[in-house]
């Protein structure tokens, strides 16, 4: 049952009296109704702004080769999962990441700043600090070649794995694991020139497109299996906006902890 005494009505088309009957050019309901302010609650009508174009993907900076990196080196695969627990003890879990993100932590015991310690790489301090300054801390990105994880040496399927006669763009993958516990995921950033096979034979002409795809000049024939090997780097950013470079003797520096993580392609 509806009790009228407790009902109220609100009219969003609350045009001002007595102005709107007089200013028919703005508020009129007759021939000008389509342009009147009453139609969408505001006026005059403005076309939506043109969206920004897609930014061109430029090659990031490169992490320098450092001889002073000491053990231990930390590498942390990371995910993001929403877990909803119920009173019964059951759970509902929803993964948010489509691909694994990796966090790295390096201890750098020696950096040369004067050329007095060439075994550490001449001016290795300037190389690393220069990269950090170029990236402006967490803002910029760079390519890190993990000495233990930078090559997919065995031919594996691309994404998509089988040609349809139309598709020309394929994503290169890497595998990590052993036996039944093998994970396949896109490489972060292709380095060098991949070796690609089309149904077991050398593939036709293709170009490499950053960060991790190849584009064939002519689409492979439908039903053909596309496989590839490649070398790769991790596309990363620093995890801190401040780093503590320590000068431990003349011309010799160290960095107790340097943390960075991969970013999604």
pLDDT at 39 (0 to 100):
46
Q: State residue 261's pLDDT score.
A: 98
Looking at residue 112, what is its pLDDT? 96
**3-class DSSP state of 98:** coil
Contacts of 51 (CB under 8 A, 6+ apart): none
Is the pLDDT assigned to residue 30 strictly greater than 70?
Answer: no
Is the pLDDT assigned to residue 16 strictly greater than 70? no
Structural domain of 217: 151-234
SS3 248: strand
Before 143, cis peptide (omega within 30)? Answer: no
Mean pLDDT of 154-176: 95
Q: Are residues 122 and 227 in the same domain?
A: no
**Among 10, 15, 17, residue whose Cα is nearest residue 27:** 15
Indicate whether 54 belongs to any domain: no
Q: Per residue in 113-156, pLDDT tens?
A: 999 999 999 999 999 999 999 999 999 999 999 999 999 999 99
Tokens of 193: 């020139």
Q: Tell me, yes or no, whether 175 lies in a domain.
A: yes
Residue 77 lies in a domain: yes
Q: List pLDDT tens digits, range 182-209.
A: 999 999 999 999 999 999 999 999 999 9
Given pLDDT bands bounded at 50, 70 and 90, which one contains residue 75?
very high
66 and 177 in a single domain? The answer is no
145 vs 58 pLDDT, higher one: 145
Within this chain, do residues 246 and 130 fall inside the same structural domain, yes or no?
Answer: yes
Q: Are residues 228 and 242 in the same domain?
A: no
Stretch 36-41: mean pLDDT: 50
Residue 48 located in a structural domain: no
Statement to judge: residues 142 and 172 lie in one domain: no
The residue written with tokens 């627990």 in the block is: 85
Q: Could you tell me if 168 and 180 lie in one domain?
A: yes
Q: What is the pLDDT of residue 265?
A: 72
Tell me if the pTM is above 0.85: no
What does the block give as tokens for 87? 């009173």
* pLDDT band (50, 70, 90) for residue 179: confident
Q: How many residues does the chain have?
A: 265
Looking at the fold, whether 177 and 230 belong to one and the same domain comes out as yes
State how far the alpha carbon of 257 is from the alpha carbons of 143, 210, 262, in Å: 18, 30, 17
How many independent structural domains does the chain possess? Answer: 2
Mean per-residue pLDDT, 29-41 = 51
Q: How many percent of the chain have pLDDT more than 70? A: 81
Residue ranges of E strands in the chain: 61-62, 69-78, 81-85, 91-95, 101-112, 142-144, 151-162, 169-171, 173-178, 181-186, 189-198, 201-202, 206-209, 213-216, 225-238, 245-249, 252-262
CA distances from 192 to 90, 125, 158, 211 (A): 48, 27, 17, 12
Question: To the nearest whole percent, how much of the chain has pLDDT over 90?
Answer: 75
The pLDDT value given to residue 199: 94
pLDDT digits (tens, 9 = 90+) for 103-115: 999 999 999 999 9
Domain-embedded: residue 164: yes
For residue 113, the Cα-to-chain-centroid distance in whole angstroms is 33
Report the candidate in 228, 210, 217, 219 with the shortest Cα–Cα distance to residue 172.
Answer: 228
The candidate with the shortest Cα–Cα distance to 236, out of 148, 131, 152, 151, is: 131
Whether residue 218 sits in one domain with residue 100: no
Same-domain status, 139 and 96:
yes
> What is the rounded CA–CA span in Å between residue 204 and residue 130?
41
Tokens 């006669």, residue located = 165
Q: Where do runs of H (alpha helix) occur along the chain? A: 19-22, 24-27, 124-135
With 0-12 CB in 10 A as exposed, 13-18 as middle and 19+ as buried, what is 50? Answer: exposed
Rounded mean pLDDT of the chain?
87
* Residue 50: predicted pLDDT: 79
249 pLDDT above the threshold of 70 = yes
- Sign of the Cα torsion 82, 83, 86, 91 reads positive
**Residue 40: per-residue pLDDT:** 46
């Amino acid at each position: 049952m509806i009790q009228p005494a407790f009902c109220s009505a609100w009219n969003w088309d609350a045009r001002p009296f007595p102005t709107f009957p007089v200013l028919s050019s703005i508020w009129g309901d007759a021939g000008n109704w389509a342009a009147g302010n009453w139609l969408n609650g505001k006026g005059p009508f403005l076309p939506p702004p043109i969206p920004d174009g897609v930014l061109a993907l430029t090659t990031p900076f490169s992490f320098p080769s450092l001889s002073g990196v000491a053990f231990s080196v930390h590498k942390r695969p990371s995910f993001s999962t929403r877990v909803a627990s119920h009173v019964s003890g059951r759970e509902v879990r929803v993964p948010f990441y489509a691909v694994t993100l990796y966090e790295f932590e390096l201890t750098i015991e020696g950096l040369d700043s004067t050329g007095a310690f060439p075994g550490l790489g001449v001016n290795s301090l300037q190389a690393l600090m220069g990269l950090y300054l170029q990236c402006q801390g967490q803002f910029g990105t760079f390519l890190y070649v993990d000495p233990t994880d930078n090559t997919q040496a065995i031919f594996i399927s691309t994404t998509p794995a089988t040609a349809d006669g139309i598709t020309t763009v394929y994503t290169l993958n890497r595998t990590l694991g052993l036996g039944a516990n093998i994970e396949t995921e896109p490489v972060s950033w292709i380095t060098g020139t991949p070796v690609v096979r089309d149904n077991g034979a050398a593939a036709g002409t293709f170009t490499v497109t950053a960060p991790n795809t190849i584009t064939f000049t002519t689409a492979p024939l439908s039903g053909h299996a596309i496989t590839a090997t490649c070398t790769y780097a991790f596309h990363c950013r620093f995890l801190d906006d401040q780093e503590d470079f320590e000068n431990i003797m003349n011309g010799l520096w160290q960095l107790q902890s340097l943390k960075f993580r991969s970013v999604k392609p």
